[in-house]
Amino acid sequence: MSRVHNFCAGPAALPEAVLKRAQEEMLEWQGQGASVMELSHRSKAFVDVMEQAESRLRRLLEVPDEYAVLFQQGGASQQFAAVPLNLSSEADSADYLVTGQWSKKAFAEGKRFVNAHCVADGSVDNFMSIPSRDDWSFSEGRYVHYCPNETIGGLEFSAIPAVESPLVADMSSTLLSRPIDVTQFGVIYAGAQKNIGPAGLALVMVRKDLLGQARPSCPAMLNWDTAAANGSMYNTPPTFAVYLTGLVFEWLESMGGLEVMGDINARKAARLYGQIDNSGFFSNPVSESARSWMNVPFTLADSALDKVFLEEAEQAGLTNLKGHRSVGGMRASIYNAVPETAVEALCNFMSEFEQRYG
Amino acid sequence: MSRVHNFCAGPAALPEAVLKRAQEEMLEWQGQGASVMELSHRSKAFVDVMEQAESRLRRLLEVPDEYAVLFQQGGASQQFAAVPLNLSSEADSADYLVTGQWSKKAFAEGKRFVNAHCVADGSVDNFMSIPSRDDWSFSEGRYVHYCPNETIGGLEFSAIPAVESPLVADMSSTLLSRPIDVTQFGVIYAGAQKNIGPAGLALVMVRKDLLGQARPSCPAMLNWDTAAANGSMYNTPPTFAVYLTGLVFEWLESMGGLEVMGDINARKAARLYGQIDNSGFFSNPVSESARSWMNVPFTLADSALDKVFLEEAEQAGLTNLKGHRSVGGMRASIYNAVPETAVEALCNFMSEFEQRYG
């Protein structure tokens, strides 16, 4: 057995170099005679790990000093509650763009804490396109929440929407896949398990002038002020996940940073969508202008062949290609840690499959 | 460099056998051609990991079917809010025993969500003893919260307090150190990073008749009903932490289970307290009947020697013996993964140190 080409939507593939480093250091980390996960989070050694991870993230994304960087737990789903609890009072309204399963979940959770207003609802088009800007309506609420890339549907905003209120983005599946202009956002958050690191860690970047508004009823572990005041160490952080994430940041720097990653990811997406578009056998249901760079769903002309496709792909070392249960068909997630060679191997397999069954 | 004797209070030492297994499987886990942390949490392979972990925990602690077992994030601190949000309404009262830094924190967080009543306050004795039962007063609230073992002060209840309302216990630093009668509790929760696994995971065991009471304002990620209804997979769980924790459970079974661990831990504590008591040089400030099996704070006759003690101990491969910053002095945490040989080595070092400096 050797390493497969892993197209999992998340928890997703990690860079092999990162896993090898973690493997080497598993029992004895940097002269400590212990694993990094056996160290006090308040030890100088671990505080350095956390600070270096933050520094690397700031360099990679050019995060200005005006933003706090927080390491949180509970995934993006926990931030669905943290956002209204930190940015609004119960009497306020807030605006939500609903363009897929994840922004829909954020909206549903938001409703429990704020007068959540739906700016636009993509479900009328089965989330296959971004509703036209002309049809958006705002409540002029405390913030505008959206999900730039919907992992399940494979739908992505091609540009950052210009809005009046602070923009809050769930970037779980795109953060670090290319450069972004952080200053366009009030808050960016992301579960780590796609492009960032292992499951169990979430990154939050908050413009500092938005801090200091948390409700008294905000649990301490969801309170960004508490996290910011304590260097994300109000309690024990998920130390191993932070360490691994730091190694991913280091790997991204060694690759040349986010400009380079953006170029690679653009090529990967172009190669795979090209494979789909140039066939009469595979198709992608998403509106062309809203196609995701990261999550590429596709269907076969004959869905009875789905099972055969998945089985033969797995035998060829191409794994986790099954579409989300709510969508069906296939989905290839091609995050940072999925190399161009993996996409090439998938495309070659698709060609062969089409020749045999098409 | 080799592995040290690590007395860290948490994140604490893990069994070497567990780390070695994780190291071996880091890049290719069980024929998957990928790390366990690169697999979908909804894959059969990972669901099996989670189910096996739960089964092993149930066997180890003899957890009856009447209890739900939940894998949560955010540590015990997140449960400080989850407890009132799941067990009470804002108008209710709840009773808190305050016997150290952690139960004090739980009480402070509880106050924000419920009329939290202090049953007894050990701070009058600087948390060096458990307040006499005769002085306890209850509000007859929805639950009684306590912390059986205070990690920072090294204070432990020698018996489970008999109370009227459902008993809620923060067992972060004692769970799995010996058998317990789960049926005495309404809720047991614990951050993993002491006896259970790596930081970033918390275990919650809830008697099922206490479910179904979560407030509408309880964030989904703190809602035990949501976790129970979704097999702790409402969103992506911290998969690597769950896997490692399962390996720790497997190791505990291979050691002979909790009766055996309890005997070993009793011997370790007796050896170390004996070393302290039989010296005129070291002392332990905690009331003898309330001494912790897990966290043993001690001071030197001459506190000017603290630094020398810590430095020489570290040179001798005995690490993380510094007391908590709020207490000072020394503290040896002797959880499951700290073997008797480590305690023996510490005691021998203490003897030598006393001979040289005493």
Q: What is the tens place of the pLDDT at every residue in B70-97?
A: 999 999 999 999 999 999 999 999 999 9
pLDDT score, position B326: 82
List B189's β-bridge partners, or say none: B170, B204
Q: How many whole angstroms separate alpha carbon A287 and alpha carbon B29?
A: 38
Partners of B333 in the β-ladder: B295
Q: Residues 6 or more apart from B247 whose CB is under 8 A from it?
A: B18, B21, B22
pLDDT in tens, chain A (358 residues): 589 999 999 999 999 999 999 999 999 999 999 999 999 999 999 999 999 999 999 999 999 999 999 999 999 999 999 999 999 999 999 999 999 999 999 999 999 999 999 999 999 999 999 999 999 999 999 999 999 999 999 999 999 999 999 999 999 999 999 999 999 999 999 999 999 999 999 999 999 999 999 999 999 999 999 999 999 999 999 999 999 999 999 999 999 999 999 999 999 999 999 999 999 999 999 999 999 999 999 999 999 999 999 999 999 999 999 999 888 899 999 999 999 999 999 999 999 999 999 8
B185 SS3 class: coil
Q: B338 contacts in A (CB within 8 Å)?
A: none
Which pTM value belongs to this model? 0.97
Give B34→chain A minimum CA distance, Å: 6
Cα A271 to Cα A106, A149, A263, A321, distances in angstroms: 32, 19, 12, 17
**Measured between CB atoms, which of A11, A77, A236 is closest to B191?**
A236
A16 within 8 A of A341, measured Cβ to Cβ: no
Chain A residues near residue B239 by CB distance under 8 angstroms: 11, 193, 198-200
In degrees, to the nearest 5, what angle opens at C-alpha B172 toward C-alphas B322 and B135? Answer: 95
Cα separation, A17 vs A248, whole angstroms: 9
Out of A102, A224, A251, A293, pick the active-site residue. Answer: A102
Per the annotation, the verdict on A302 as an active-site residue is no
Among candidates B67, B49, B6, B4, which has minimal Cα distance to B193? B6
Return d(Cα B68, Cα B102) in angstroms, integer.
24
Contact list, B112 vs chain A (CB under 8 Å): 216-217
A-B Cβ pairs (cutoff 8 Å, strict): 221
B-chain residues within 8 Å CB-CB of A26? 19-20, 22-23, 26
Unique residue bearing structure tokens 């949180």: A72
Instruction: Find, among B225, B200, B237, B207, the residue nearest to B51 by Cα.
Output: B237
Is B217 close to A37, i.e. CB distance below 8 A?
no
Q: Which residues contact A250 (CB under 8 A, 6 or more apart)?
A: A56
Q: Cβ of B26 and A27 within 8 Å? A: no
Strand partners, A191: A202
Burial class (CB in 10 A: 0-12, 13-18, 19+), A16: middle
- The two most distant CA atoms of chain B are separated, in Å, by 63
Q: What is the mean pLDDT of residues B263-292?
A: 97
Q: Which of B29, B95, B104, B170 is catalytic?
A: B170
Helix and strand counts by DSSP (H, E) for chain A: 9, 14
pLDDT beyond 70 at B9: yes
All residues of chain A having their beta carbon less than 8 Å from the beta carbon of residue B238 are 73, 198-200, 238, 241
**Backbone φ, ψ for residue A148 (5° rounding):** -55, -30
Q: Does domain B17-255 have CATH number 3.30.70.20?
A: no
pLDDT-above-90 percentage for chain A: 97
Give the residue among B289, B270, B354, B342 at the shortest CA–CA distance from B128. B289
Q: Which residue of B has its CA nearest to A90?
A: B217
CB-neighbour burial class of residue A141 (10 A; exposed 0-12, middle 13-18, buried 19+): buried
Question: How many Å lie between the alpha carbon of A50 and the closest alpha carbon of chain B?
Answer: 14
Q: B6 and A319 in contact by Cβ < 8 A?
A: no
Test A6 with B77 for CB contact under 8 angstroms. Answer: no
- Given CATH 3.90.1150.10, say whether it is the number of domain A256-357: yes
Query: Would you give the DSSP letter of residue A322?
Result: B
Q: Which of B12, B234, B236 lies nearest to residue A11, judging by beta carbons? A: B236
Q: Quote the mean pLDDT of chain B.
A: 97
B153-178: per-residue pLDDT in tens?
A: 999 999 999 999 999 999 999 999 99
Read off the pLDDT of residues A200-249 as tens digits, 9 standing for 90 and up.
Answer: 999 999 999 999 999 999 999 999 999 999 999 999 999 999 999 999 99
The CATH number assigned to the domain with range B257-357 reads 3.90.1150.10
Q: Cα-flanking dihedrals φ and ψ of residue A233, to 5°?
A: -125, 45
**Cα angle B238-B295-B180, degrees, rounded to a multiple of 5:** 70
Cβ of B241 within 8 Å of Cβ of A217? The answer is: no
Tell me the C-alpha distance between B206 and B140, whole Å: 20
Annotated catalytic residue A224: no
Location of structure tokens 């690397």: A56
**pLDDT at residue B1, as a whole number:** 55
Among B231, B232, B214, residue whose Cα is nearest residue B223: B214
Q: Hey, CA dihedral for B141, B147, B152, B154, is it positive or negative? A: positive
Q: Å from B252 to nearest chain A CA? A: 18
Using CB atoms, pick whichever of A32, A40, A81 lies closest to residue B11.
A40
What is the pLDDT at residue A1?
A: 55
- Residue labelled with tokens 């926990």: A78
What are the chain A neighbours of B6 within 8 Å (beta carbons)?
A: 33-34, 38
- B7, B18, B23, B35: best to mutate for the A interface, most A CBs within 10 A: B35
* Per-domain residue ranges of chain A: 17-255, 256-357
Partner residue opposite A235 with nearest CB, options B77, B236, B238: B77
End-to-end CA distance of chain A: 30
DSSP letters of A80-121? HHHHHHHH--TT-EEEEEE-SHHHHHHHHHHHTTSEEEEEEE
B38 neighbourhood in chain A, CB within 8 Å? 6, 8, 11-14
Residues B108-117: tens digit of each pLDDT = 999 999 999 9
- Please identify which residue in the block is written with the tokens 């179904």: B212
Asked if pLDDT for residue B207 goes beyond 90, the answer is yes
Nearest one of B244, B249, B237 to B70, comparing CA atoms:
B237
Nearest chain A Cα distance for residue B319, angstroms: 9
ipTM of predicted complex: 0.97
Q: Say what angle helices B239-255 and B16-24 make with each other, to 10 degrees.
A: 130
With beta carbons under 8 A apart, name residues in chain A contacting B3: 27-28, 33-34
Q: Which residues are paired to B272 by β-bridges?
A: none
The mean per-residue pLDDT over the stretch B231-240 comes to 97
Residue A116 pairs with which residues in a beta bridge? A94
Q: Max alpha carbon distance in chain A (Å)? A: 63
Choosing from A29, A95, A104, A194, which is the catalytic residue? A194
Local structure of A207: helix, strand or coil: strand
A240 and B235 in contact by Cβ < 8 A? no
Tokens at A74, concatenated: 């509970």
| pLDDT of B56 above 60 | yes
Distance CA B24, CA A236 (A): 27
Residue B307 annotated among the catalytic residues of the structure: no
| Strand positions, DSSP E, chain B | 5-6, 67-72, 93-98, 115-121, 144-146, 149-150, 155-156, 167-170, 187-191, 202-207, 282-283, 295-300, 318-319, 330-333
Distance of CA B195 to CAs A285, B65, B176, Å? 49, 23, 7
Environment class of residue B1 by beta-carbon count within 10 Å: exposed (0-12), middle (13-18) or buried (19+)? exposed
CA distance A281 to A173: 28
Nearest neighbour of B75 by CB, restricted to A2, A76, A236:
A236
Residue B81: which of A43, A201, A220 has the nearest Cβ? Answer: A220
